[in-house]
Chains A and B, each alone.
Chain A
C-alpha cells in the first residue's frame, strides 16, 4: 500500500543513531556531576569559613572565656574584650536603620503606588547608582568631606544640649566629625538601595484586588496603604529590614574610615567609637598571636550574627515571588 522505506535501523542520512539500548552517555553524566559539584561549592565554602575562622579564633576563646565580652580592649596588656566593638556595631546599625528604613519604604511606596510607570525607571536607575558606589569611596568622601562638615553641626548641637537630661547624654559633647553618628549616616546611605529594592519586591506581591478594594471604598492613598498593603507586606518588609541590618553590621571600610577608631562605650553618639569589622580592618596588620586570634574571633562573631540574621530574613522574605501571589 505504501512505499516502504528501505532501512533496517532508521538511522537516516543525518548521522548514525545510537543503539536503542545504551547507558547514559558519559558526557551527559559528567556534566551533571560538575553542575552538582558547583552547587555544593556554596555549602562547602560556608562550612570552611566557619571551621577555619573558628579554629584561628579558638586561642582567644579559650584564653578569655566569657571575657571575650569584656569592656577593655588593650593589646599592650594582652586584654581583648570585645564589648565596645559589639556596642559600636549595634549602635551604628541602629542609627542606620532608623534613618534608612523610613526613607527606603518611602521610595518603595513611591515607586509602586505613586509614580506612573514612565517615571519609575529613572528613579530605579538612581537607586541602582546609589548601590554601585563602592564602600571605600563612601569612606573617602566621608572622612575627607562629610565628617569635617558635620563636625560643626555636631558641636553646635552638642553645646546647645549640654546639660539637658537625655539629649545631653546622647548628643552632647564630646563631639567629633568621625563618630558613631557619622558612621550611622553613611551606613544609612549604603543600605537604602537594598532595603528599597527588597521592599519593592514585597509590596509588588500585594494582590491588586485588595488595593482596588480599598480604593473602591473611597480610601485615600495613605489609607489604602495602611489598610491593604501594610497587612500583606509587614512580614516581608521586616525581612527586608533585617537584611539591611545584616548589611550594615558587616560593612567595613566606610565605617573604618569615619567612625573614629576609639574603643569606647559611651552614650554620646557624636563621640568617636569603633565597630567589629572596622577594628579588624584597622588593626589586623600589626596583630599577631593572641591579638590576631582575638581579631579573628571578632570575625567569627560577625559571621555568626550576620548568618543568623540573614537566615531569619531570607526565611521571611522567601525567594522571588513565591508568596502572596493572588
Chain B
C-alpha cells in the first residue's frame, strides 16, 4: 500500500471546472471518503488518481512516484465501480481469479488459488466459489466485484459509490464488512459517495467537496462538530442542521458579523410555555426519536425530542440553544 497525494490538481470539461486546485493527501492505510452532491467533482478526482483522466494542472503522486503523466496500468490501482460488472459465463472463482491471471502478472496457479480463497473467506462467499456469477443475489454480486478488486495488492483502492446499488439493509452490512476488511488488510482506500452515513461510519477522514473544491478535510467528528462553513454543516446530520436568521434568537450572544445561526436538531432545549414564541406544527414519530417541527417567526425549526415527552401539535414552546454555530454573510464560520 502507498500514500496518494494530489497537488494543485485542476480538471476542466468545456466550460465546467470539475476539479479546481485540489490538494489532498491520503496516508498509507487510511480510509478517506470524498463526500459531496452530484457534480462536486468526486468521481473526476478518482479518475484523475486512476489515470482515466489527465489533469490540466497539478501533479498526482502514488507513493513517492509522480504518476501525473503515466497511463493507468503502471499506477497499479484497483477501481470498484458503482455498477458491478462480472463475467456472467464464469464461476465466482474465475471472476475473482481473473485479474491475477492476466498475462502481465504470470502468477502461479497455486498462488492464484490461495489468494482467491483468502479473499472469498474475507467476504464470506467461500461457499459460492463454484457458482456461476449469475446465480448470486445482488449483494453477493457486489461482494464479488469488490473481491475482484481486493485479490490484487494494488497501491491503492479507488471506490466509486460501490454500495449505492444495494438495498438499505445490505448496505448497512457491507459498511461494516468493508471497514473490517480495510482494517484487516491495512488497505489505503479513496472512496467516493454522496451518502453521509457511509462517510461518517467508515472514514478515517472525510473530505467535503463543493463544486470541485475541497472545503474541509477532517475526521467525521471534526466535520460534524466543527464545520468551517454552513455548507459543510449541512453535509452531515439527518435531519440536517437548522440554518436560521440571527434575528430569530436575539438573546443569544453571537459574534457581531453573524447572519445565520446553525442549530443542530439535538442542540435545542424545548420547554412548554403558554407565552412562548414558538408553536409546534407537527410531530414526526420516527420511533427512537421524534422530530418536532416548530414554527418560530417565519422560520421552521426541527427539534429532536424524546418520544415520551408528550409535546403535541399546536402547543406553544420556548427554544433555548445549547450549542449554536455562527455563520457570516458568506457562510463562513464565525467564532467568539
Q: Do A and B originate from a single complex?
A: no
What is A's interface to B at a CB cutoff of 8 Å?
none
State the B residues within 8 Å of A (CB): none
